[in-house]
Amino acid sequence: MLAQDLETRVIALEFEYLEPKTMSELLSILDKYRDDAKLLAGGTDLVVGLKKGFVKCKYVVSLKHLKKELSYIISEKDKIRIGASTTLKEIEGSQLIKDKFQALYEAVKDIGSPMIRNIATIGGNICNASPAADGVVSLLAFDANLKVVNSSGERLIPIDKFFLGPGKTVLKPNEILTEIQIPLPPENAKSKFLSIKRTGISVSTACAAVHLQLKASTINYIRICLGAVAPTPIRAYKTEEYLTGKELSVKNVDEALKILEGEVSPITDVRGTAEYRRYATKGLVRKIIKMLGGV
């Protein structure tokens, strides 16, 4: 029997558990152990991976003593900054997020269950790099930037350049994601996130976020972002490009959805067939555009 088939509470792996007290201690640990170390935030992905044998490491490095440094939602003139260890519950509870970043609010409020959202973090949702990560799909719709840090400095990575494939990102072994920066949305823009899940606490079979700004009935700005239909969460760039500058009409949306079909590459797995995902994704995007734009 394979480890992943076992329903067990036991982690059948020996590792050392470390609890750095400061950021510089954490960065030294990452410099020293690199690929042998795994960061532990809420653990709702990592611990499942360790139990099922998908994830292997020699050191589990807890972020629990860095909560103060890594957990905040700060509003600035042109952007908001969210600390990587901010929990989904904290994001769900932020009136600022609910008012300005509706799709992010809608994405996080349905992740897992209240118990999961109480400990799961937005940084974990991003760095786990699941193609179905609801939080990531919504952050793509807001052109978020990710601040990553190592012992020699920091860099800012646009979120659409962060993912390389399932479970793979551009993060170097000695880097940590510390902050998500989201520019304030354009004036009068609206956004929405919808997903299809097998049960209330299941991972999405398909999900979509759209961020739309209309000038009269013309689409001035649009982001169409999709989850669980490609090796990473994606933006439907060609569909966005087709719609930008066009009138928001049923005919144009129909045409756009034909383009969108060519931008997805879903697989068949336990959550749904590729054919279903392709069909459902078009339905989600059509529904969101209708809810946001009335057409």
Nearer to ligand FAD among residue 43 and residue 185 (C-beta) = 43
* Residue 93 per-residue DSSP state: T
Min separation Cβ 128 and ligand FAD, Å: 4
- For 68-89, give the DSSP string: HHH--EEE-SSEEEEETT-BHH
Min separation Cβ 242 and ligand FAD, Å: 28
Q: Which of 204, 193, 293 is closest to 246 using CA atoms?
A: 293
Min separation Cβ 96 and ligand FAD, Å: 20
Min separation Cβ 214 and ligand FAD, Å: 29
Strand order in the sheet with 145-150: 73-75, 79-83, 176-183, 145-150, 153-158
Dihedral through CA 268, CA 270, CA 271, CA 273, nearest 10? Answer: 30
Residues forming the site for ligand FAD (CB under 6 A)? 38-46, 48, 84, 88, 111-112, 116, 120-121, 123-125, 127-128, 133-135, 171, 176-177, 201, 203-204
Nearer to ligand FAD among residue 110 and residue 263 (C-beta) = 110
Nearer to ligand FAD among residue 23 and residue 259 (C-beta) = 23
Min separation Cβ 233 and ligand FAD, Å: 9
Report d(CA 146, CA 84) in Å as an integer: 9
Min separation Cβ 171 and ligand FAD, Å: 6
Nearer to ligand FAD among residue 121 and residue 213 (C-beta) = 121
Q: Which of 197, 179, 169, 173 is closest to 121 using CA atoms?
A: 179
Nearer to ligand FAD among residue 80 and residue 253 (C-beta) = 80
In the chain, where does DSSP find H-type helix? 23-33, 46-52, 67-70, 88-92, 95-100, 102-109, 114-119, 122-127, 134-140, 237-243, 250-263, 274-293
Report d(CA 70, CA 159) in Å as an integer: 18
Lookup: tokens for 195? 């997903």
Q: Which residues contact 129 (CB under 8 A, 6 or more apart)?
A: 163, 164, 165, 166, 167, 168, 169, 232
Give residue number: closest CB to ligand FAD.
Answer: 124
Nearer to ligand FAD among residue 38 and residue 98 (C-beta) = 38
Nearer to ligand FAD among residue 89 and residue 248 (C-beta) = 89
Min separation Cβ 190 and ligand FAD, Å: 22
